Amino acid sequence: MFNLKEKFFSAGIHQSQKIQTLIIGRLLTIFLLLVAAWIWHSGKLKLSFDNFPQGVFLVFLVSVGLTIIYFFVLRLNSHYEWQIRVQLFLDALLITWLVWRTSDLTSPYITLYIVLIAVASLFLKASETLLMAAVCVLLFALLSILSASSVIYSPNATLESSKVVQIISFHTVAFLVVGLLASKLSDRAASGEQLKETVKTLANLRVLHERIIESVRSGLITTDLDGNIYTFNAAATEISGYKADQMIGKPIAALMGNLRQPIVESLESTETGDQQPRFETDLISPEGFAVRVGYSISTLFSERGEESGWIITFQDLTDIRSMEENIRRKDRLAAVGRVAAGLAHEIRNPLGAMRGAIQVLQASIPPQSSQASLMEIVLRESDRLNNIITNFLTYARPRVSNFTETKVCEALNDTFTLLRHSPDVKETHVLEVVLPEKPVYISADSTQLKQIFWNLARNSLQAMPNGGTFRAVLAETPHNRVKIVFSDSGVGMSGNQVEQLFEPFSNSTTGGTGLGLSIVYQIIRDHNGTINVSSLEGEGTTISVELPREYGGAPIEDDIDETLEPSRLKSFLNVKTEETEISS
């Protein structure tokens, strides 16, 4: 509504300016005629009032008076078209009066009729321009007839009738021809204005169309019937990672795969009047990520109602599928928590009784006998089983964290000191720790922080049975966080192993239960931190842990990326054939 009012307001200003131009131009023209006539009658540049053209001067005075009236009416009246028509008609009357005052049929000012018709074509429509020419013909013919018949005074009363008819006929033809040509010019000018308005309207519609397309939060792609892309909106760029100039002109199959069957099903649903079917596929981003999208296909029609291509709208379902998997994962973990108490009672108590019985029997058997060796194996395996149960209960029911100001450098140094005296470290192992010069403090549970470092370090050492380098680097990062990067040159992991890395009882490369990294993940999550794993089979693993300097309260939602459906996880996490990465 505002644009419409603004358009009418702008058109009104334009018309007002045209009328002002007409008024001022008329006054200047008559003034120039007055000066020219004065010079003509004087016969020299030295002007004299004895030769002053009184007829032209009277017309000039009348024009000055009309100019004042025209400006006054322009201020009060907004009917601009009628003002133009009235002014041009009065101009025709003034010209007729001037011609009559200056020798009528032989007046040099008869040419002003032609000038008036030409000027009218600039302000009037083609039909109105022809009408203006007819008015000029009528006024001149009427003046000529009245003068020739001596009804009004005429200095050319002695002219022969044939001469009068000749003059009237000649000027009538001239006026009508000029009127016809001027009407064509007026028509062409009007067509040009309409064309400009049409082009402007089309440009505005195009801009509006593009803004609507770009404002849609769903990805929108249009193709021709051959499947070549020619529209790719901002949301499509945001979801897929490809820019519009990269995709326009390329086949849609390069982005979304073969859509032949979805197109057939969409056409069938349109013909039967059923609801438009929805489909799902994976878009592979330029970085190698797989983005799960849901899309629908509809027919694109031309202005004549013919099929000209396809419209594909799609939305990013990656987060939705991730949340669904997170819910299923949490349900599994909740079930694990419920059986934890039962396991503690059902396994630990009999295990303790068995261990006590074995120890009693062992006291009565010679130390060097084969029975003593077997009993030692039973005791050792019962201890290992007890450790597994302890770790499981720690994972299922972690203890409450005690957040205090903790020195990260000190925690890393303590871990590496213990690690160097660990039986897992061999002479072929190289341990390196890189710390910043100034101390780094974070709000954390120091015991749990050391447990993170210890579990990750032991996991790396076990991945290097034949030796290698284990390295830890501490650095400060933006957004008030710290980053600890652990890297080893061990056996590395496959994509499937990385996907299940933080799951309890997962397939471990070191032969363990997998509970250690599950506990690490849960502690990091409780500290509002993140963990990123990048591994290459045969070349080692790099694990990055980021922790906030200050504890922000409740832990962040579990948005670990490896919970996506396994068939698509590798691509989504930038997992390649050679290298596997996972973030949490």
Mean pLDDT of 389-407: 71
CA distances from 35 to 46, 53, 62, 146, 529 (A): 12, 9, 16, 30, 93
Structure tokens at 51: 């030769």
Burial track 484-504 (b if 16+ CB lie within 10 A, e otherwise): bbbbbbbbbbebebbbbbbbb
Contact 348, 391 (CB under 8 A): no
Confidence of residue 573 (pLDDT cuts 50, 70, 90): very low
Give the CATH fold of the 321-396 domain.
Helix Hairpins (1.10.287)
Amino acid, res. 222: T
Q: Is the model's pLDDT at 137 over the cut of 60?
A: yes
What confidence score (pLDDT) does residue 508 get? 55
Measuring CA to CA, which residue among 470, 460, 444, 461 is closest to residue 523? Answer: 444
581: CB partners within 8 A, 6+ apart: 498, 532, 533, 534, 535, 573, 574, 575
The predicted-structure confidence for 491-521, as pLDDT tens digits, reads as follows 888 877 777 777 765 555 555 555 677 778 8
Q: pTM of the full predicted structure?
A: 0.40
The predicted-structure confidence for 181-204, as pLDDT tens digits, reads as follows 888 887 777 777 777 777 787 777
The predicted-structure confidence for 314-330, as pLDDT tens digits, reads as follows 888 877 877 777 677 67
Pick the CATH number of 219-316 from 3.40.50.720, 3.40.50.2300, 3.30.450.20, 3.10.20.30: 3.30.450.20
Q: Is the model's pLDDT at 485 over the cut of 90?
A: yes
Instruction: Report strand pairing: 468-477 vs 429-434.
Output: parallel
DSSP SS3 for 219 = strand
- Percent over 90 (pLDDT), the chain: 6
Residue spans of the domains in the chain: they are 2-207, 219-316, 321-396, 404-583
Question: How many angstroms separate the CA atoms of 53 and 98, rounded?
Answer: 11
What confidence score (pLDDT) does residue 59 get? 72
Contact 466, 490 (CB under 8 A): no
- For 553-575, what is the HEC assignment? CCCCCCCCHHHCCHHHHHHHCCC
Q: Is the model's pLDDT at 174 over the cut of 50?
A: yes
The predicted-structure confidence for 200-227, as pLDDT tens digits, reads as follows 877 777 777 777 777 777 888 889 888 8
CA distances from 39 to 34, 35, 43, 234 (A): 9, 6, 6, 72
What confidence score (pLDDT) does residue 38 get? 65
SS3 content of the chain, % helix, strand, coil (to 5): 60, 15, 25
The predicted-structure confidence for 522-536, as pLDDT tens digits, reads as follows 888 888 888 888 888
Contact 136, 124 (CB under 8 A): no
CATH class of 404-583: alpha beta
Q: What is the DSSP letter of 348?
A: I
Question: How many angstroms separate the CA atoms of 47 and 35, rounded?
Answer: 10
Mean pLDDT of 324-342: 69
Average predicted confidence (pLDDT) for the chain: 77
Q: What angle do CA 259, 262, 268 make, to 5 degrees?
A: 140
Q: Is the model's pLDDT at 90 over the cut of 70?
A: yes
224: CB partners within 8 A, 6+ apart: 230, 308, 309
Lowest mean pLDDT among 274-283, 535-544, 552-561: 552-561
- Report which secondary-structure segment, H or E, holds 545: strand 540-548
Structure tokens at 384: 């290992």
Contact 101, 110 (CB under 8 A): no
Question: How many angstroms separate the CA atoms of 341 and 347, rounded?
Answer: 10
